[in-house]
Amino acid sequence: MFCCRHLFFIFLLLGSCTSTSIITVDEPLSDGHDNVLVSSGESFVLGFFSPGNSSRRYVGIWYNKVSEQTVVWVANRNNPITNNSGVLSLDKTGNLVLFDSQKPDVVVWSTNVSSLSSFGESNYSAELLDTGNLVVHNSKNKGFVWQSFDFPTDTLLPDMKFGVDRRSGLNRFLTSWKSSDNPEAGSYSYMIDINGSVPQLFLYKDKDPFWRGGSWNGLRWTGVPELRSNFIFKVSYVDNAEEVSIVYGMLNASIISRMVLNESTGTIQRSTWHPGDHRWDNFWSAPQDQCDYFSHCGVYGDCSLYNSGEYECKCLPGFEPKSPRDWYLRDGSQGCVQKQNSQLCRNGEGFVQLAEVKLPDTTKTKLDMNLGNKACAELCLKNCSCTGYSGADVRGGGFSGCITWYDKLVDLREYSRGGQDFYIRVDAVELAKNTKKSKRIQGYVKVLVPVLLSAVIFVLFALAYWLITKRKKALRRKEGMMWFQNDTNKRGISVHGSSMEEEVDEIETSNVDVKFYTLSTIIDATENFSLANKVGEGGFGSVYKGKLRNGQEIAVKRLSNTSGQGIEEFRNEVTLIAKLQHRNLVRLFGYCIQREEKMLIYEYLPNKGLDCFLFDKEKKSVLDWKKRFDITLGIARGMVYLHHDSRLRIIHRDLKASNVLLDLNLNPKISDFGMARIFGNNQVEETTRRVVGTYGYMSPEYAMEGLFSIKSDVFSFGVMLLEIITGRKNSSYQSENFINMIGHVWDLWGESNALEIVDPALGNTHEYDSEILRCIHIALLCVQESAAARPSMSEVVFMLCNEISLQPPGQAAFLLRTANRGLTNTSSGSVGGVSVNDYTISTVEGR
């Protein structure tokens, strides 16, 4: 006993004041006294820590230069030490051993490598490398006898191998923490599954597939189309007899980036540390939308979120809904069945091409790397149980390698871009239906080809000359890099500083239908901007209804005050914004520029804004609770698309009820997005300042510090959700001696009386009480004072659609707490510079 105590004190003495990166047999690392290992480049630290509010002690590795302790690896995740008496030592056999000095005989955790004796008597040391890898090496042998990178926890670091070593069977995969207090393995795991003929990336929840990244197609995972050429990191994927692995290497070592599996959101996130703002920024996560959830539309279903069609779920060609009733209620989980009387075996069957899709689950497939498209089709036709085929490698835009499916087709979805071609087996009837269509296209092509070809050749020459002279440098940099898609313009991603913006690619104007309208067309359509045709006055100018000669109705937004921007810049931004297409966004058709006059041409929606329904005594009865819920979900989905799914990252900045238009079926469509891009940021701020009614939707960080992020949009969404539930304008509360709407709801929530706020016009809503309460809860999460605590829009969609338990909302933001200091109009005040106490608000209505 004495001996042990004695030893312990020696440990303490030796351990104190260490600033080394090495543990040796003689120098263990003991808990306490700020004893840590620091890697040689000072990027990472290894030591004892207590996660969150827990008092338990763990050995872990965290960033040295990240102000918020971010643990990237835990040794004893399942076996904590209860008090500060842990010691991590290196024994003579080269194994790291963690024990409690009060119970030195019990091994808490060990690297447990048994084959080390073959090195004979040698000097071992454990070293924390600057990559964040804890390694054990010996003096005789190069290489590592053990490394922590082989046993990841929830974090994938740059240069860390992810995947399976086929020789040893070692599988390096991520598992989430149970909670922020408990690093034990939680319910999610993220790994490469090598069971099928093609390795696939999977996110599992409790062993069930939750999201599928799919197979690697030479360029990217089929389920991650946004992975594109990139100047942030390079990806190396290896699939050979020895291993299947992927490694992300940073191109700029000073950018701190990680991939982490998050238990609370159920997502795999890639985030980057912003040293200036002291926060992690998630710039990519999966799953992102409904269609991402594994087999969302069931077997033989096709999930398509982006098409403007009515349903998310469609059946693949030749199939029909198994349970039509559920299907039309938007529950696609039962999937589809083969249409009756279809003959798929030696009866004139063939293939229909599905373009831009995520390939179905490849678990039951065969792979032959030596076949091309034609041979692949033949192979599939020969075997009547073959349901479809596709190419395995799409590099160079080609088709090489052949994957054939022999089972139900599961988890296929469409992308607006970046998908792959899949060929599905259909019977003769279905084939005829589809080939007719493509023949028509072919005829068209025959006429156009010669004309286009000569035009293209000319353009190519001009372009080539221009590229060679001007873009040499930029092009060289791009080679061999991968990028989370933002292919047209890199300003959308917030990971990097402005220095990278200079390397913006050419604006890609091809294959987007952005029309240029002449002024005379618009004058004609709007009857010279007649007052009778004026349908609104918005923050950015007046809106006119118009009718083109061909009968199409349009909405013309005549922009005021656009002098700040050049024509070219304007055109480029419009082109980018017009590419954003989603069922819950108003479509931008084109633009018109003439001298100082700039106009945006939108699709025309006969119904007015959500505000006109919600806040109108008579019209609001049209919106029963179910409708209001659908509208909420639609808005949220539109916002997810703007924030995460589209190729640009769009922050709306002015989300409010009057900026949500309703179509004939009362489906919500968000308008006025992308204004920050079209106008430049300053002008949007100015405009929102002018429209003082908008203040009620502003997050505190924006109103007080001028800070804007996607979380500010989330705040505005929360305010709007409360308005949808209460049927009242947020500004209407101040006149009744409430602090404001948020404060009022917050107080009632605290008293468990939140249902009192529900719009009386909804009548008896008993059967929906739990859903309404849930929505109030979500709204309160969105309007939290702390921007970081607010959920992302994709989390909001998830929470709306799933009855998962929600975190209690934190302190809500009472933007108008100081409102009693005087209600004056701030139309000329500067938002950026006002202090909290000076902050005043007007109840003047926006539009």
Ligand X SMILES: *[C@@H]1O[C@H](CO)[C@@H](O)[C@H](O)[C@H]1NC(C)=O
Active site positions, annotated? 654
Out of 20, 110, 125, 307, the residue judged to bind ligand X by CB under 6 A = 110
Is residue 315 within a helix (H) or strand (E), and if so which, with residue range?
strand 313-315
Choose the stretch contacting ligand X; rule: CB under 6 A; options: 250-258, 395-403, 461-469, 818-826.
250-258
Cβ 143 to ligand X, closest distance in Å? 16
360-398 per-residue burial string, b: 16 or more CB within 10 A, e: under 16? bbbbbbbeeeebebeebbebbbeeeebbbbbbbbbeeee
Q: Does 122 bind ligand X (CB under 6 A)?
A: yes
Q: How far is CA 141 from CA 63, 79, 118, 163, in A?
A: 29, 31, 11, 25
- For ligand X, the closer CB: 107 or 823: 107
Q: Is 620 annotated as a binding residue?
A: no
Rounded Cα–Cα distance for residues 544 and 238 (Å) = 57
Cβ 70 to ligand X, closest distance in Å? 8
Taking alpha carbons only, the member of 686, 653, 692 closest to residue 670 is 653
Cβ 225 to ligand X, closest distance in Å? 23
Q: Does 264 bind ligand X (CB under 6 A)?
A: yes
Taking alpha carbons only, the member of 631, 624, 614 closest to residue 764 is 624
- For ligand X, the closer CB: 284 or 839: 284
Instruction: List the structure tokens of 836.
Output: 């909290």
Is residue 14 within a helix (H) or strand (E), and if so which, with residue range?
helix 2-15
Taking alpha carbons only, the member of 670, 666, 607 closest to residue 638 is 670
Q: Are 57 and 75 in contact (CB under 8 A)?
A: no
Beta strands 515-516 and 588-594, pairing class: parallel
Q: Which of residues 568-607 bind ligand X (CB under 6 A)?
A: none
- For ligand X, the closer CB: 203 or 543: 203
Q: Exposed, middle or buried, 675 (CB in 10 Å: 0-12/13-18/19+)?
A: buried
Cβ 604 to ligand X, closest distance in Å? 38
Q: Does 260 bind ligand X (CB under 6 A)?
A: yes
Rounded Cα–Cα distance for residues 35 and 21 (Å) = 11
- For ligand X, the closer CB: 102 or 307: 102
Q: Which of residues 375-394 bind ligand X (CB under 6 A)?
A: 383, 385
334: Cα within 13 Å, side-chain hemisphere = 13
- For ligand X, the closer CB: 216 or 695: 216
Which residue do the tokens 């809500």 mark? 812
Choose the stretch contacting ligand X; rule: CB under 6 A; options: 102-110, 219-227, 700-708, 736-744.
102-110
Q: How far is CA 712 from CA 542, 647, 698, 727, 792, in A?
A: 26, 20, 7, 22, 10
The DSSP call for residue 291 is G
- For ligand X, the closer CB: 316 or 714: 714
- For ligand X, the closer CB: 750 or 763: 750
Which residue do the tokens 């701190």 mark? 256
Q: Are 177 and 263 in contact (CB under 8 A)?
A: yes
End-to-end CA distance of the chain: 80
Taking alpha carbons only, the member of 389, 429, 431 closest to residue 406 is 389
Rounded Cα–Cα distance for residues 20 and 24 (Å) = 11
For ligand X (CB under 6 A), the number of binding residues is 28
Taking alpha carbons only, the member of 671, 674, 684 closest to residue 561 is 684
Out of 40, 67, 83, 807, the residue judged to bind ligand X by CB under 6 A = 83
Cβ 724 to ligand X, closest distance in Å? 24
Out of 3, 26, 105, 121, the residue judged to bind ligand X by CB under 6 A = 121
Contacts with ligand X, 539-558, as mask; x by CB under 6 A: --------------------
Out of 250, 255, 367, 773, the residue judged to bind ligand X by CB under 6 A = 255
Query: Residue 174 forms beta bridges with which residues?
Result: 190
Taking alpha carbons only, the member of 796, 817, 816 closest to residue 807 is 796
Cβ 101 to ligand X, closest distance in Å? 10
Cis peptide before 287 (omega within 30 of 0): yes
Cβ 251 to ligand X, closest distance in Å? 8
- For ligand X, the closer CB: 16 or 252: 252
Instruction: List the structure tokens of 164.
Output: 């399976």
Q: Which of residues 722-761 bind ligand X (CB under 6 A)?
A: none
Rounded Cα–Cα distance for residues 813 and 15 (Å) = 46
Choose the stretch contacting ligand X; rule: CB under 6 A; options: 121-129, 156-164, 218-226, 744-752.
121-129
Q: Which of residues 179-218 bind ligand X (CB under 6 A)?
A: 180-181, 193, 195
Residue 54's CB is within 10 A of a number of other CB atoms, namely 15
Out of 112, 168, 347, 454, the residue judged to bind ligand X by CB under 6 A = 112
Cβ 394 to ligand X, closest distance in Å? 24
Q: Which residues contact 573 (CB under 8 A, 6 or more apart)?
A: 674, 677, 678
Rounded Cα–Cα distance for residues 629 and 773 (Å) = 12
Cβ 11 to ligand X, closest distance in Å? 15
- For ligand X, the closer CB: 138 or 726: 138
- For ligand X, the closer CB: 675 or 796: 796
Cβ 132 to ligand X, closest distance in Å? 16
Beta strands 301-303 and 412-414, pairing class: parallel
- For ligand X, the closer CB: 64 or 122: 122
Q: Which of residues 390-429 bind ligand X (CB under 6 A)?
A: 406
Q: Which of residues 29-58 bind ligand X (CB under 6 A)?
A: 52-53
Which residue do the tokens 């599988």 mark? 171
Q: Is 36 helix (H, G, I), strand (E, B) or coil?
A: strand
Please list the alpha-helical segments (H only) found in 526-624.
567-578, 610-614
Choose the stretch contacting ligand X; rule: CB under 6 A; options: 37-45, 107-115, 602-610, 702-710.
107-115
- For ligand X, the closer CB: 289 or 672: 289
Choose the stretch contacting ligand X; rule: CB under 6 A; options: 104-112, 217-225, 530-538, 833-841.
104-112
Instruction: List the structure tokens of 393.
Output: 């490698």
Cβ 531 to ligand X, closest distance in Å? 49
Rounded Cα–Cα distance for residues 423 and 426 (Å) = 9
Out of 117, 139, 498, 837, the residue judged to bind ligand X by CB under 6 A = 139
Rounded Cα–Cα distance for residues 787 and 810 (Å) = 11
Contacts with ligand X, 473-512, as mask; x by CB under 6 A: ------------------------x-x-------------
Out of 16, 55, 67, 123, the residue judged to bind ligand X by CB under 6 A = 123
Out of 25, 107, 474, 507, the residue judged to bind ligand X by CB under 6 A = 107
Choose the stretch contacting ligand X; rule: CB under 6 A; options: 262-270, 617-625, 737-745, 761-769.
262-270
Rounded Cα–Cα distance for residues 483 and 473 (Å) = 18
Rounded Cα–Cα distance for residues 94 and 761 (Å) = 73
Choose the stretch contacting ligand X; rule: CB under 6 A; options: 248-256, 306-314, 325-333, 619-627.
248-256
Instruction: List the structure tokens of 517.
Output: 């309208």
Choose the stretch contacting ligand X; rule: CB under 6 A; options: 4-12, 257-265, 612-620, 687-695.
257-265
Cβ 728 to ligand X, closest distance in Å? 30
Chain residues in the site for ligand X (CB under 6 A): 52-53, 82-83, 102, 107, 110, 112, 121-123, 139, 180-181, 193, 195, 252, 254-255, 260, 262, 264-265, 383, 385, 406, 497, 499
Task: List binding-site positions.
Answer: 557
Task: List binding-site positions for ATP.
Answer: 557
